[in-house]
Amino acid sequence: MSHTKQKKRVTPASSETLLTLLETLPGALFLLDDNATIVYANANAQTMTRKDVCGKPLWRGAPQLVSTSLYQAVQKAKQTREPTEVEYISPVTNSRLHVSLSPTNEGLAIFFQEYLEPQSPQNAFSQNEHMYRDLLESFSDGVTILTPQGLVLDVNQRPLADAHLQREEMIGKPFADSPAWSHDPAAQQQLRAAIARASRGETVRFEARIHPRSDLSLDILMTITSHRGANQQVEYLICAGRDITERKYIEDELRTLVDAIPHFVWIARPDGHVIYNNQRLIDYQAMSREQVEGDGWIAAVHPDDRQRVWDVWQAAIQRGVSYEVEHRMQDGINGAYRWFLVRGVPQRNAEGTILHWIGTCTDIDKQKQAEQRIKANEQNFRVLAETVPQLVWTTRPDGLSDYFNQRFRDYTHATWEQLYGYGWSQFLHPDDSERTLVARAHAFRTGTPYEVAYRFKEGQTGVYRWFLARAMPVRDATGQIIKWFGTITDIDDQKRTEQRLKASEENLRVLAETMPQFVWTTRPDGHLDYCNQRYCEYTHATFEQLQGYGWRQFLHPEDIERSLALRHHTLETGEPFEREHRLRNGQTGEYRWFLARAMPVRNEAGQIVKWFGTCTDIEEQKRTEQALRQSQERIRALIDSNIIGITSNEGDEEVLVDANDAFLHMTGYTREDLNSRTLTRMKFTPPEHAPLFQRVLQEVATHGQHTPIEAELVCKDGSRLPVLAGAVTFQGHPRQMIGFVLDNSARKELEQRKDDFISMASHELRNPLTALKMQTSLLRRQLAKQGLQASAPALSSMETQINKVTRLVEELLDVSKIQAGRLEYRQETVDLDALLRETIDTMQQTHPSHRILVRGAVQASLMADRDRLGQVFTNLISNAIKYSPGAETVEIDLEATLETVTIRVHDHGLGIPREQRDKIFERFYRATGPKQKAIPGLGMGLYIVAEIVKRHGGTITVESAVGKGSIFTVTLPKKRDTLD
Ligand code: ADP
């Protein structure tokens, strides 16, 4: 296009002239358009460039002429639109070139003049020029001067030599198109970008691999700087390419190595800008090298870790200290995060200046996870440790305790710092401290769990409580102890209970030793573990011989099997054990019966912890039982013998519940009648016996038995059977009686006959006696009339004897009458004092041997039978005299109350044995002592006396002391309506 323009402006005529002129010019002339393309070159110019250059850019068309100075001048002329000049040495011909540049309408006219003569060294210009060239060539680096567009203006020998190129072959062409760079499009692109940036004034540095020729590749570090003109405009660019092939080689080697190692490796500049990441790291992050470089790597860091990592990294950079941080880094392929330990170390030069940071990232994910698991476990442990009711602690393998749960701290009232290490041991009781620490040290040394009880101080109160400490080692996979976990359990209550138990056990032992039984204890399985001394003594064995099951040898062979079977059963069921068996006396070889008893002792959980047993000697009891059995057998024999009637009554109505055949036979009842349980006492007793039976029952109630009575039984047919009966209460129950009944009818009949005989005899005797008495008094009167006094004493003696017999017969008659209930009484008012006086007077006259002393008076008159009462006193006084042969007095005491009168007859005679005192009031009874027997009598007096007193509503009792005397006391009521 510019070419067309140019053609239009130049007229053929003038152009002809002009061209000729130009062609003849001594120098070389180039006309350039605005784009620095050669539009015209004169003949000299053609010669100089040695080719047809028209249409080509100046820089490429005339490389022999190109220099930085020229380029600068061209630029200047273009900008200023002013002519300018420049002089320089052609790098090709080494000739001096003087260049005049004139802006034209179309572009620029450049006129070169070549001076071939050598330069005077003094010439300043020449000096500069040469220096420039020498300098350029002195660089070991390849240096290329470029236009801001990237065209090569100048180049030193190094790149040309590497590429086997002539200068001309490079000058004026885009640097990026040179073979070294065009071989690799990436490198070419990199260079173009760098040139573009440099042309904007930046200094650009980069590494690249170039290929100056097919058989050569070089690693170069390119540095492109710009040169600015006076107006600050970038005039040209200087590219310095340093050959770093060797370093690169080493680096590559290293890098291969670094890439091969399983670690991630990175390198950063002193300012922290990451300049290198090894392949593994890049592969992991799945980012490009460029993305990772600089600060790009932070993107791969887990968001939660980012700030922290960044802060640590910045701090490390600032302070120039090693950098170490753990963080999660994302796996670029699957998006998962893994934990890494990232370390960076600053590399310094000799002066200490940081050259760069070299770092590694080590995958610690597994470790971290394990750690987290441990942490989680630890968390769990802590939660557990804080919730359990014990005091919990952990200790390092070296014995320093490093954890105490809240409860521990609360109890000791101490802080963690106070407890840490061995601090806790200050709370041990001084008496337990050494023992505990020794046990603990031993455990830590041997790695065996330990358990020790000690007193531990409550921090606030200072009170010691008993604790049970337990500790277990915790080992890692290799078996190494990594920790000790321990608990301390409050066992104070338990301990105290134990102590109490011990004390009570001690008490028990003392008790056991003092008890009259054998005392023993066994383990839950029956193994005897204690027995008292008494047991040992009896068996004549040591405890060692008895313990366990040794005691069994002393069991009677006949008892062994059943005793052991029962024991076995109770051990299994926990039921109390109770059995009678015989044990051998170890010394005599005799067996005695024992009652063995055992009770299980249970703990709070109900488990049997012990058996507590005793053996009680029941030999006597056994014998008694046997005796009882024998006597029972005898009784049975007696009952079954039916010699006497035997009955058994029960209950309030005394129902006959059992009777032997003899009884049934006596009464006519059948066994069926008996079994009907309707035979009450009422049915058997005649109504008039009711008072008698009342008395009998009273006696049974108080004495457990009653003296046999004579009574009548009402038989089934209503007839009456005289019996002799007695009863005892059965086993102490007054409502259960065993009675015996003897048929008394034969004796009764005999008695009756005797009574009848006495009655008849006394009647028969009375009549002749009365006749005899009358005859005697008649005889006395006749003899007195006849004055025959000599016979008087004989007659008196006769009369006395007759009176005696008469009295005897009277008494016999009285007894018969009493027996028949026919003794008659008169009723009259009797002055008792007068009667007594009269009686005593008479007695005193007839019995001068004793003085009868009367004390007191009764001063009472009674409704009574005067003669009968006189008979009472006479009888008592005569007995008193008769049975106190050696005594001098008989005393009579009289007393009266409002209701009664009392007459006591007191003698100092023989006295009456206790057992006979009741009997003397019975018919014909006489005391049995030899002295008594020597005194004549028939045993009727007191019988009659008692009857008369009774009939007067009174009582008669006797007190007596054998050898000292007796007192008979008669008490009579003063007033009575009628006589009984
Ligand atoms: P006896 O005709 O035998 O005296 P009693 O009926 O008067 O008959 O007395 C019965 C018995 O009581 C006597 O045999 C006598 O042993 C004893 N006895 C009576 N009174 C006394 C008395 N005062 N001192 C000692 N024994 C007496």
Q: Which atom of ligand 1 is nearest to the CA of 937?
A: 2
Beta bridge partners of 454: 467
The protein residue with its alpha carbon nearest to ligand 1, atom 17, reads 927
Quickly state the pLDDT bin for 426 (edges 50, 70, 90).
very high
Give this prediction's pTM. 0.38
Distance (angstroms) between ligand 1 centre and the Cα of 913 equals: 12
Identify the pLDDT of residue 121: 52
The protein residue with its alpha carbon nearest to ligand 1, atom 23, reads 880
Residue 19 neighbours by CB under 8 Å, 6+ apart: none
Q: How far apart are CA 534 and CA 532, in angstroms?
A: 5
Residue 810 neighbours by CB under 8 Å, 6+ apart: none
Q: Is 965 in the pocket of ligand 1 (CB under 6 A)?
A: no
Distance (angstroms) between ligand 1 centre and the Cα of 694 equals: 30
Query: Could you read off the pLDDT of 448-497 as tens digits, one per residue?
Result: 888 899 999 999 999 999 998 988 888 877 788 888 888 888 888 888 87
The overall average pLDDT reported for the chain is 86
Identify the pLDDT of residue 281: 85
Identify the pLDDT of residue 2: 42
Distance (angstroms) between ligand 1 centre and the Cα of 888 equals: 18
Quickly state the pLDDT bin for 116 (edges 50, 70, 90).
low
Which whole-number Å values give the CA distances from 796 to 777, 785, 793, 805, in the listed order?
10, 16, 5, 14
Identify the pLDDT of residue 115: 76
Query: Could you read off the pLDDT of 715-774 as tens digits, one per residue?
Result: 999 999 999 998 888 766 767 888 889 888 888 888 888 888 888 888 888 888 888 888
Judge residue 749's burial from the number of C-beta atoms within 10 Å of its C-beta, 0-12 exposed, 13-18 middle, 19 or more buried: exposed
Distance (angstroms) between ligand 1 centre and the Cα of 939 equals: 7
Q: Is 941 in the pocket of ligand 1 (CB under 6 A)?
A: yes
Mutation test residue for ligand 1: of 883, 931, 945, 949, the one with most atoms within 8 Å of CB: 883
Q: Is 49 in the pocket of ligand 1 (CB under 6 A)?
A: no
Task: Say yes or no to pLDDT of 138 above 90.
Answer: no
Mean pLDDT comparison of 190-194, 249-253, 289-293, highest-scoring range: 190-194
Q: Which atom of ligand 1 is nearest to the CA of 910?
A: 25
Print burial letters for 101-118: b (CB count within 10 Å at least 16), e (below 16). bebeebbbbbbbebeeee
Mutation test residue for ligand 1: of 926, 938, 962, the one with most atoms within 8 Å of CB: 926
- Among 34-43, 500-509, 783-792, the minimum mean pLDDT is found in 500-509
Identify the pLDDT of residue 6: 45
Q: How far apart are CA 99 and CA 45, in angstroms?
A: 12
Q: Is 939 in the pocket of ligand 1 (CB under 6 A)?
A: yes
Query: Could you read off the pLDDT of 878-896 as tens digits, one per residue?
Result: 999 999 999 999 999 999 9
Q: How far apart are CA 949 and CA 869, in angstroms?
A: 8
Mean pLDDT comparison of 88-92, 246-250, 306-310, 762-766, highest-scoring range: 306-310
Q: Is 877 in the pocket of ligand 1 (CB under 6 A)?
A: no
Q: Which atom of ligand 1 is nearest to the CA of 942?
A: 6
Identify the pLDDT of residue 47: 79
Quickly state the pLDDT bin for 124 (edges 50, 70, 90).
low
What the block records as the tokens of 462 is 């200072």
Closest CA to 111 of 44, 159, 166, 184: 44
Query: Could you read off the pLDDT of 514-544 as tens digits, one per residue?
Result: 778 888 989 999 999 989 899 999 999 999 9
Identify the pLDDT of residue 120: 57
Task: Say yes or no to pLDDT of 579 above 60.
Answer: yes
